[in-house]
Chain A
Amino acid sequence: MNIEEALKIDNAYLAGEYDVAVVGAGHAGCEAAHACAAMGLRTILFTLHLDSLANLPCNPSIGGTAKGQIVREVDALGGIMGKVADDCLIQMRMLNRTKGPAVHSPRAQMDRSKYSVMMKKFLEDTENLDIRQGHVTALLASDNGDGTYKATGVMTESKAVYSAKAVVICSGTYMEARTIRGEVIMESGPDGLPRSVGLSESLSGYNIPILRFKTGTPVRVNANSVDFSVMEVQEGEHDVPPFSFENEMNGRGVPEEQTPCYSVWTTPETREVIFDNMDRSPLYSGVIKGTGPRYCPSIEDKFVKFKDKTRHQIFVEPMGSNTREMYLQGFSTSLPEDVQVRMVHSLPGLGKAVIQRSAYAIEYDLIEPTTLKRSLESKIVSGLFTAGQINGSSGYEEAAGQGIVAGINAGRYVQGRDAVIIDRSQGYIGVLVDDLVTKGTNEPYRMMTSRAEYRLFLRYDNADMRLTPVGHEVGLISDERYEAFVRKYDAIRSERERLGRTYVGPTLELEKILISAGSTLPPSGISLAELLRRPDVTYEMLAPIDPKRPELTRDICKEVETDIKYEGYLKLEEEKIKKFIKLEKKAIPSDTDYSKITGLRLEARQKLDRMKPESVGQASRISGVSPADISVLLVYLESIKGGADV
């Protein structure tokens, strides 16, 4: 349905004209809308319920392994998740401190309601951005007559028609959602919120394939009814930088006063309750048909699939500063309410726990992500972008990462500029997007550091180095912030060089330092950089023998240390990245007729024709395309270029 047809419907009216319409105000939608508005485009952001904007309906935390890196990347691009999270965190930790800098991952517990309120205010104060509570039921697009379409706007339940040059859909778990709690099945979004009806059918009408996934969330209990004395306490840490680089550069730390989390283990009774009631589990009785994630199984799933594990760990996390609600991480279930009560009461310290919200599973519609380009624009409907769970991902951070990519590219589309692609060597965001659009997914996709092949390079501390130039280029990073960024990396570079050319003799003082690090004195003079490469020798440790050391901020010292310590490995990784980029840069024309390329195997021909990869690099990651097929493709591309140049 195009705009003209929509306006002919009874009671339909033209409610507004925008550059970009963003549907859904979760973590993806908020980033997308903010990015478009900040790029100077007239933007409208729709939400089903204004009070649940940027909701954290599952665990009340942001960050963690791989996810913490994504939050930093979003911030480095000029996004907002990190900034709002810094304002709302009640506990901060750096995970994996002992496991090497590449996997250091910041994670924070959020004050859930504050996060929603602060995000709402942030967006309300954003220029060029209108926020509207409304139920979008249709995508409007004109037919190109060749099986493709062009997005022109959206229409709401009340027949309000909004024209838009680009549309970004971030429908989260809301499209045709239903929640399941044992025998109780509700047509509802998460937290009892209204669901989205009709939009999925509208997308399907443009021949966009629709899939269905499932996820779940655990019970919430009242802290006053919990005996924390039997639980292991997990305190927050203070020696952690904030999420936002801007806050870090301004010297802001994390709050002095933080709220603890707790952990307990399930008991034999928990297991017994679950197995006794397995016949009432909708997961096993076949009521739930959507595909659930393996990394986020319900507790009954864990007991069934890992039979030899007799107990599982449960984390008890606060939901905020102004509430007693606690979240039981690791205890998600779709068993009936009465079973849930007995399960919770079987846990140490929770014997008398008062349940405030039940656990439930939720099923929702999404689109087939392999129908997207790496810009997150649909290959079928131009000007339509999608981000977050609608693309098959899971997680707030994964949503935000896609949101900012979709927002930037919707903006670029309206501006008539080339799309901005973040590749696998530039960030976890690049890995996430590439995996989704190239390989697709058959379960909600969670980011893991193991998915990134250039992990040593994709660190939380250098996310700005990787992505702030991109953010500046597209107009999301101010000149002022960019200049500060340039100064930071100038300082890093000159300090690295200084350490490389500053030599120290084998003095007693040095020996003392080295012995304390379990190392030995070198026979002759040695550079500070060389010393730093030794395991267990830190930058800080060398201060007494390095009197000419300049005054540098902590983040700079840390990055200098990592760069030097890992120099050899980083160089190897850079070599690999260079090779990777070479193939990524070999573009494949979108009108390539694979049936005309001799030498391609049939399977490769079919897959390539269906996926229409944008580069040779992307083609090489499609399953069923062999290295020989890639060679053939390279030769073909050379031949159509009409000349050899290497």
Chain B
Amino acid sequence: MEPFCALSTPAGVSGIAVIRASGEGVSLKASKALKILRTTGDRTEAALTDLKGYESAYARFIDPSDNRTIDDVVVTFFEGPHSYTGEDMIEISCHGGQAVRQEILRVLNELGIRPAEPGEFTKTAFINGKLDLTEAEAVMNVISADSSRALEASNSQLMGSLKLKISEAEDMLYKALSSIEMMIEFPEHDDTPENTKTVEDMIEGVKDLFDSLARSYGRGRLLTERMKVAILGLPNSGKSTLLNFLAGYSRAIVTDVPGTTRDMLEYNTEIEGVPVTFVDTAGIRETDDEIEAMGVKLARIAASEADLILYLIAPETSYGDVTSTIEGLEPSKLKVIFTKSDIGDNPSKDEIVNMLKERGVDGTASISVKADANTDIIGRFVKDTYEKAGGLNASDITVLGARHAELLRSASGKLSEALGIIRDGIGVDVCSQVIRSALDDSGQITGRVVSDELVETIFSRFCIGK
């Protein structure tokens, strides 16, 4: 079997995640990304392919295209038939972040280890005689449950809009292909509207779109489009303390991007498995100072662009200051945090909470960074927002995203080839076959069947017949 892989730990956020891959030559393929640092036998000069069955190693997972380190992992090799599927398998235990998992899966796909189909590990195990025959029914149920979950996810809003985009690109490709096919099927009909240049342009356009979609979804929507969290509050409400705390909380991935044109600090980090950009803003208050007023304006813009607004209230902040500055902030995005709870509660706390409730704000909490009290509430706010926005749980995005990105990359590669064929003047029969093959790939996302669609397109576009 050609090797396939999938995340095998459950959905959502966890400390570590396990990615499994199974199939012929799986270690050789994965060895390009996995650099062994130390084995359980304490060898340091070993390659992945040197591991014996059941042997584990500490390894660095890199992206071979640019040698960038993605994560340090533990990898275990299982030699077929002594594995779950009965084939050679590897298990990669990586850190639990969304980004890391997604990147590892993407690299494995690029190395020729394709995303698994629903229930494929179990199915393979069954077919290889690793499971009892009486388990057949259970296996079939696993497959159908997995596929209906995948279907559900693919019908979600996010995937729906992706599919729509791909489908529109496909329409263009079908148009290009039907022009080529028209020339082939009805060579004597003097009725071909597009010249080769137009066909080339259409293919080029679709290729670019596939590329950009694959890039954004392959690396994860939330890697390229991170969740934005704006931190707002009156001066001295504890913003800097919280930011410093968050910067320390995050592991090695944290990079700080110093102030941009907006004179605000952005911190990229991963919190509860979600890639997040925290935006530090100037304190907001009514002011006559021109420069400070500018900062306030920018803070409000940042708030309007953010997916989540954390509004900080110190114990000494007055009710009036809160009502005057909270005006205009989107209630559904707003979470209000009473800071410095170790010093004491804000005297107007109840009043403020009631006022917020009336405005439709439903998340409030008290924390103390100094006493490390209730600080994990930030993570919970982030995660809630993330899941509400995506409408998907994390594992679905990873699985679907990886599969889709892989298909789009493959389709795009074929379109490049098709363009090369046109430019080299090789027969259009080959060119058409390569474009079809690209449509086969994208059709696995959109569910369109090439032979049916193509004939439809030819008939609807051209007037032909005897």
Residues of A that sit less than 8 Å from B by CB: 58-59, 65-66, 95-96, 99-103, 218, 234, 263, 293-297, 302, 305-306, 309, 312-313, 315, 329-330, 332, 439, 448-451, 453, 455-456, 535-536, 566, 569, 572-573, 597-601, 623, 626-628, 631-632, 634-636, 638-639, 642-646
Known: A103-B184, A638-B126. A631 touches B141 (CB 8 A): no
Partner of A598, one of B129, B141, B449: B141
* Complex Cα gap A312–B447 (Å): 36
Q: What are 16 A-B residue pairs whose CB atoms fall within 8 Å in the complex?
A: A99-B183, A99-B184, A99-B427, A103-B428, A296-B465, A297-B465, A306-B463, A313-B188, A332-B466, A451-B455, A535-B426, A631-B117, A631-B123, A631-B147, A634-B127, A635-B127
Measured between beta carbons, the chain B residues less than 8 angstroms from A263 are 188
Known: A566-B430, A638-B127. A451 touches B451 (CB 8 A): yes
| Contact A313-B189, Cβ < 8 Å, known A99-B183, A295-B459, A598-B140 | yes
Contacting pair A330 B144 (CB below 8 A): no
Is there contact, CB below 8 Å, between B463 and A302?
Answer: yes
Chain B contact residues, CB within 8 Å of chain A = 117-120, 123, 126-129, 133, 136-137, 139-141, 143-144, 146-148, 181, 183-191, 424-430, 432-434, 436-437, 449-452, 454-455, 458-459, 463-466
Q: A62 to chain B: closest CB distance in Å?
A: 13
Give the contacting residue for B184; candidates A96, A294, A598, A628; CB below 8 A: A96
Which residues of B are found within 8 Å of A599, using beta-carbon distances? 137, 140-141, 143-144
Within the complex, what minimum Cβ distance (angstroms) separates B6 from chain A? 15
Closest to A569 in B: B430
| CB-contact partner of A65 in B123, B129, B185, B437, under 8 A | B185
CB distance from A616 to the nearest CB of B (A): 13
Nearest opposing residue in chain A for B141, CB measure = A599
Q: For A636, list chain B residues within 8 Å (CB).
A: 136, 140
Q: Of B129, B136, B427, which one neighbours A101 at CB under 8 angstroms?
A: B427
| B residues near A643, Cβ cutoff 8 Å | 129, 133
Contacts of B140 in A (CB 8 A): 597-600, 632, 635-636
State the majority secondary structure of interface residues on B: helix
Question: Which residue of chain B lies nearest to A456 when distances are taken between CB atoms in the complex?
Answer: B433
Question: What are the residues of chain B within 8 A of A312 when measuring CB–CB?
Answer: 463
Distance in angstroms between the alpha carbons of A330 and B425 in the assembled complex = 32
Per the bound structure, the CA–CA distance linking A536 and B425 in Å amounts to: 8
A329 to B465, CA, bound (A): 8
Identify B466's interface contact among A296, A456, A536, CB under 8 A: A296
The answer to whether A448 touches B455 (Cβ under 8 A) is yes
- Residues of A within 8 Å of B143, CB to CB, are 599, 628, 631-632, 635
**Chain A residues with CB under 8 A of B465:** 293-297, 302, 330, 332
The answer, among B128, B144, B147, B429, for a CB contact under 8 Å with A103, is: B429
B144, A449: Cβ atoms under 8 Å?
no
A573 interface neighbour in B148, B181, B433, Cβ under 8 Å: B433
**Residues of chain A contacted by B466 (CB below 8 angstroms):** 58-59, 218, 296, 329-330, 332
In the assembled complex, the Cα of A501 lies from the Cα of B127 at a distance in Å of 43
Indicate if the CB atoms of A569 and B126 lie closer than 8 Å: no
- CB pair A631 B189 closer than 8 Å: no
Q: Which of A295, A536, A627 has the most CB of B within 10 A?
A: A295
Question: Which residues of chain B are near A449, meaning CB under 8 Å?
Answer: 181, 184-185
Are A313 and B429 in contact, with the CB atoms below 8 A? Answer: no
* Shortest beta-carbon distance from B336 to chain A in Å: 46
Give bound CA distance, A456 to B436, whole Å: 12
Other CB < 8 Å A-B pairs besides A569-B433, A598-B144, 4 of them?
A102-B433, A449-B181, A450-B181, A601-B144
B127 touches A313 (CB 8 A): no
A309 / chain B contacts, CB cutoff of 8 Å: 191, 463
Q: In the complex, how many angstroms separate the beta carbon of B433 from the nearest chain A beta carbon?
A: 6
Chain B: minimal CB distance from A333 (Å): 12
Which residue from chain A places its CB closest to the CB of B444 in the assembled complex? Answer: A627
Given contact pairs A600-B144, A639-B133, A646-B128, A456 touches B463 in the complex (Cβ within 8 A): no
Q: Would you list the 8 A-B pairs with minimal beta carbon distance, nearest first?
A: A100-B427, A100-B429, A599-B140, A644-B129, A628-B147, A639-B136, A102-B429, A599-B144
Q: How far is the CA of A296 from the CA of B466 in the complex (A)?
A: 5
A576's nearest neighbour on chain B, judged by CB, is B437
**Which A residue's beta carbon lies closest to that of B189?**
A313
Give every chain B residue within 8 A of A455 (Cβ-Cβ). 429, 432-433
* Chain A min CB distance to B137 (Å): 5
- Measured between C-beta atoms, what is the minimum distance from B423 to chain A in Å? 10
Q: Which residues of chain B have C-beta atoms less than 8 A from A293's C-beta?
A: 465
B451 touches A450 (CB 8 A): yes
A599 to B434 Cα, complex, angstroms: 35
Contact: B147 with A626, CB < 8 Å? yes
Give Cα A448–Cα B455 distance, bound, in whole angstroms: 8
- Kindly state the separation between the CA atoms of A200 and B6 in the bound complex, as whole angstroms: 56
CB distance from B458 to the nearest CB of A (A): 7
B190 contacts which chain A residues (CB < 8 A)?
A: 313
Taking CB atoms, residues of chain B closer than 8 Å to A638 are: 126-127, 136
Task: Report which residue of A58, A100, A329, A330 has the largest number of chain B beta carbons within 10 angstroms of its beta carbon.
Answer: A100
Shortest CB-to-CB span from B111 to chain A, Å, is: 19
B127 touches A644 (CB 8 A): yes
Q: Which residue of B lies closest to A568 (CB)?
A: B430
Contact yes or no, A642 B133, CB < 8 A: yes
User: How many Å lie between the Cα of A305 and that of B464 in the bound state?
Assistant: 11
Minimum C-beta distance from B196 to chain A (A)? 12
Choice from A295, A601, A639 contacting B464 with Cβ under 8 Å: A295
Contact partner, B430, options A65, A102, A635, A645, Cβ 8 Å? A102
B451: which of A453, A598, A644 is its contact (CB, 8 Å)? A453
A601 to B118, CA, bound (A): 15
- Judging by beta carbons under 8 Å apart, are A297 and B463 in contact? yes
Q: A102-B429, A635-B140, A643-B129 are in contact. Are A65 and B463 (CB under 8 A)?
A: no
Taking a contact as CB atoms under 8 Å apart, the answer to whether A65 and B187 are in contact is yes
Which A residue's beta carbon lies closest to that of B427? A100
- Given the known inter-chain contacts A448-B455, A450-B451, please indicate yes or no for A95 contacting B139, CB distance below 8 A: no
A175 to chain B, nearest CB (A): 23
Taking CB atoms, residues of chain A closer than 8 Å to B458 are 448, 450
Instruction: Evaluate contact between B189 and A101: CB separation under 8 angstroms.
Output: no
Across the interface, B454 reaches (CB within 8 A) one of A295, A332, A450, A601, namely A450
